[in-house]
Every structure is written in C-alpha cells, then in structure tokens.
C-alpha cells in the first residue's frame, strides 16, 4: 500500500527529531562519562601522590675515568696527577613509595646503592632523613626508613598485581628529570616480561605511561589508587620515554619488602638444577608434545635435587598446582618456597607424568656479577672469570656443565681486542679442557711465555675458536 506525501513527511520529521534527540542524549552521556572518568583520575592522583617521595642522596665518586675502571676493585693503584682534583661527589636521585605508617619506603636498589645521606621529600615539601633497611639486588628492590616518623604520614595501599589485565588503565607517579611528583597515565601493555636484562628475577609489568629518568622507584597505580608496581626502567634509544616502561609487580614487591623489613635480606628457595627452556626441537626429541616447562640438563653437586628422585632429562611441568611455562617462572616459584619445606613436583619422563616430593634448600649467597670479589682480579689478558654456576648459567643461557664464564673484561686488552665478551664460556685453552677456575689459572700460568693463546669459547650455544695475542 502506498503512503501519502503527508505521511512520508511526518515520518521523516519524527525520525529527524528522534535522531537529534538521540544524538543530544548520546553526547550528554558521553560528556558525563568523560567527566566521571576525569574526576576518577583526579581523585586517584590526589590519593596516591602524597605517598610518593622524592629521594636524593650522595653517591660515591665516579668509578670511571676515560672509560677505565677507577675504584676499590681497580686491579692497580692509581694516584691523581698533581693539580687535578678528585672527582666530585655525585647526587643520586629517584623516587620511592611509603607503604606503611612506620615510615618504611620501597624503592629501587639502584637508586640507593652505594649512597649515604639519604633524604626524602614529600609532596607537601616536608623533608626527612632516611637510612637503608635492606636491599635485594636480585630483584632491584630496596627498603629505606624515615628516622623520625610523623603521625600524619601518607601511605599507599599495596594492591594485587596478579589480578591486573592487559589494557587496564594505570597511573605512574614519580620525579622524572627532577620534576617533583609528576603524574602520567597509560595502560598495562603486557605482563610477565622476562629476559629484559635488568635483574636476576624478572616478571615485569610493561606500560606505556610515560616513565623517564627519576621515575625509578616510583609508583604504578591502578584506578582504585592501589600500588600495583614499582617503576624501574624504560626502553629508550634517546634517554627519554618511548612508551615502553617496566615496573616490578606488587606481588613480588610485597614478598621482598616483607623479608627486608623483618630480616634485612631475602632468603630464597633452591633446588640446585641446571635448567633450560623447552624449545620445539627439544619437545620433539623428548616426545613431549608441548613447548612449556623446564628441562633439567644437570644436577648440582651437594644440592637438594641431588638427594631427590629428579634426573637430567626430566621436564618439570608443575610445582605444586602451578603449571610451569618456562625457566623464569620455575625459578620465581621455587625462590618463593620457604627453605626447609617440601614441594610437590611433577615431571615428564619417558612419556609419563611422575609426581615426586623435593626438599627445598636455601639459595646460596652469591656475589653480584656486576661487582665481583676483590680477589677476582683481571688476569694478564684482561679477563676475570668465575666457575659456572646456576645463576651464571641462567643469566647467559649456558647449558654446559663445566667451564669458566667471563664476568668482567678490561677494555684495550688482549682478550678485548680478540673479540671475547662478558658471558663467554671458556671451554679450552691451547686445546686443553678448562673445567673450572683452578684449571684456568693453571693453564694460563703454564702458558705465560706464549705470545698467542688459542681459546675455545662458547657463545649463544655456538663454539668458536679465538686467538688471543699478547703482543
């Protein structure tokens, strides 16, 4: 049936009014939503900012002069030429977060490492001297404490980073480039970031909230105003923010902070196994069918694993009821288990899943690879080596069970000029196997008169012969 022209006109007018009204209502709703969102950001910032502090301290003089090491670990004595002043003291700056009313502040270890005269400044300009309670280089977390705690100290509640999802809104608060208590906004870009190369235990939150130098130790906050991460580092080619920042998740922060406050150090669980990720080729070779878990390549002597039923070739698939995705996750989970207790472990062996119980030991104290013992001096070719251990194997992705690892290299030395780098595994010298540092030193001593030394090194899983010339 045909409609009259009047009917068509009426329908058009009603439709136009409806569209106009709907559009206005939609704009109003959008405006209200944006206003609510804006108010939420303001309230969260107002709530969280007072608990973020600006940290300043005095650091020891620079350890480098013209690219050469200068400090207590220097392999030779050095005196400044007459008329040349000693290097000036350096100022260390960063951020921190007050997490309880007793004056405890969490920050990054690299912010307060080798510092003295630590002072924190609050957003209301109050200043307080602080002392270091404890630090954990393995996670780059440190705790400092205000000496005289005021009654009205602002604190920031620690949230649950395990519940955060990619895409959620976050706010970063810190002191970038010295601009006190700066607030930036972004989202969680990724979680569980590993192999960044910043610490031994990594499980970073990645965010695009602008983070710059000075933000280290500052807060990453969710929209509830809870601390869900400690801002630690940025990926940058220019020194400024490129939208790739990393924060230590609050779950890791809380565990480490609790141990630092109560005991001054972190005690970690330990199995004592050499492990590697399960690649497609490994999975096919073991007829495993998955690319997850951690393959046991060897057992450390005197370790808890040596006393257990676990064997080289086992693929660890579970710790307790937690599935193991990769080596990094296994190390973190084991580290969180209290030493002296037992853990249920599931392994894949010969086509079957086997449950077993393993005793958890205490992870032995290790010297920071970046700061070797004073006894570990560079040798005549310019390298410092250390026996291969679990930590070095993980850091440099080494699957061998013997050899020595280059942990420090002096520039403009025979080894440096030959192309040897930190992380290389020295397997042979002059075709003689190098099992440990004792063998290394013995071979080097016997070869003192030789002008050229043939090294067999392993780098990134590939063997390579290198000639080190002493001339």
Residues involved in catalysis: 110, 140, 216
Give the helix/strand (H/E) hosting 348.
strand 342-349
Q: How many C-beta atoms surround the C-beta of residue 82 within 10 A?
A: 5
Owner of token pair 């502090």 = 53
Placement of tokens 């939420």 in the chain: 40
Give φ, ψ of 57 to 5 degrees: -155, 175
Q: Cα angle at 205 between 111 and 319, to 5 degrees?
A: 105
The answer to whether 337 and 360 are in contact (CB under 8 A) is yes
Q: 304 to each of 91, 188, 342, 364, how far by Cα in Å?
A: 44, 38, 10, 12
Q: Which residues contact 42 (CB under 8 A, 6 or more apart)?
A: none
- Between vectors from CA 143 to CA 330 and to CA 149, what angle results, nearest 5°? 150
Start-to-end Cα distance in the chain: 104
- What CA–CA distance (Å, rounded) separates 447 from 6? 108
Which of 244, 276, 4, 217 has its CA nearest to residue 99? 217
Q: Rounded CA gap, 45 and 62, in Å? A: 37
The greatest distance separating any two alpha carbons of the chain, rounded to the nearest whole angstrom, comes to 112
Angle at 62 between CA 138 and CA 212, to 5 degrees: 60
Rounded Cα distance between 203 and 194, Å, is 5
Match 């955060």 to its residue by tokens.
164
Cα 131 to Cα 107: distance, rounded to the nearest angstrom: 12
Which contiguous run of DSSP H or E holds residue 409? Answer: strand 404-409
In 1-126 the beta strands, taken as DSSP E runs, fall at: 52-59, 64-65, 68-69, 90-98, 104-108, 115-121
């Amino acid at each position: 049936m045909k409609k009259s022209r009047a009917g068509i006109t009426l329908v058009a007018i009603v439709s136009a009014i409806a569209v106009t009204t709907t559009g206005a209502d939609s704009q109003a709703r959008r405006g209200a939503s944006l206003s609510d969102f804006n108010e939420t950001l303001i309230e969260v910032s107002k709530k969280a900012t007072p608990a973020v502090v600006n940290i300043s301290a005095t650091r020891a003089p620079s350890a480098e002069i013209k690219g050469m090491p200068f400090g207590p670990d220097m392999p030779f004595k050095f005196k400044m030429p007459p008329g040349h002043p000693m290097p000036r003291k350096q100022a260390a700056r960063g951020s921190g977060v007050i997490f309880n009313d007793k004056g405890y502040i969490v920050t990054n270890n690299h912010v307060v490492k080798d510092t003295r005269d630590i002072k924190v400044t609050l957003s209301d300009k109050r200043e307080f001297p602080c002392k270091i309670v404890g630090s954990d280089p393995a996670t780059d977390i440190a705790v400092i404490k205000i000496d005289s705690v005021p009654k009205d100290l602002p604190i920031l509640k620690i949230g649950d980073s395990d519940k955060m999802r990619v895409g959620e809104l976050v706010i970063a608060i810190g002191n970038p480039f010295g601009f006190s208590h700066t607030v930036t906004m972004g989202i969680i870009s990724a979680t569980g970031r590993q192999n960044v190369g910043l610490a031994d235990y990594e499980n970073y939150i990645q965010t695009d909230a602008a983070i710059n130098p000075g933000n280290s130790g500052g807060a990453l906050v969710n929209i509830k105003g809870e601390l869900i991460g400690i801002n630690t580092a940025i990926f940058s080619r220019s020194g400024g923010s490129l939208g790739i920042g990393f924060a230590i998740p609050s779950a890791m922060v809380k565990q480490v902070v609790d141990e630092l406050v109560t005991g001054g150090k972190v005690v970690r669980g330990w199995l004592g196994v050499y492990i590697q990720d399960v690649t497609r080729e490994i999975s096919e070779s073991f007829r495993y069918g998955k690319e997850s878990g951690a393959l046991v390549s060897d057992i450390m002597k005197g370790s808890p694993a040596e006393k257990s039923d676990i064997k080289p070739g086992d693929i660890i698939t579970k710790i307790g009821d937690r599935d193991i995705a990769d080596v990094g996750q296994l190390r973190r989970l084991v580290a969180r288990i209290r030493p002296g207790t037992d853990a249920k472990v599931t392994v894949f062996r010969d086509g079957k899943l086997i449950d077993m119980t393993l005793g958890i030991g205490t992870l032995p104290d290790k010297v920071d690879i970046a700061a070797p013992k004073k006894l570990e001096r560079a040798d005549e070719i310019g390298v410092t080596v250390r026996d291969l251990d679990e930590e070095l194997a993980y850091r440099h992705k080494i699957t061998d069970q013997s050899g020595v690892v280059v942990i420090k290299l002096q520039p403009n030395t025979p080894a440096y000029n030959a192309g040897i780098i930190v992380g290389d595994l020295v397997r042979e010298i002059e075709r003689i196997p190098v099992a440990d540092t004792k063998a290394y030193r013995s071979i080097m001593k016997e070869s003192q008169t030789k002008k050229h030394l043939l090294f067999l090194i392993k780098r990134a899983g590939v063997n390579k012969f290198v000639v080190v010339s002493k001339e």
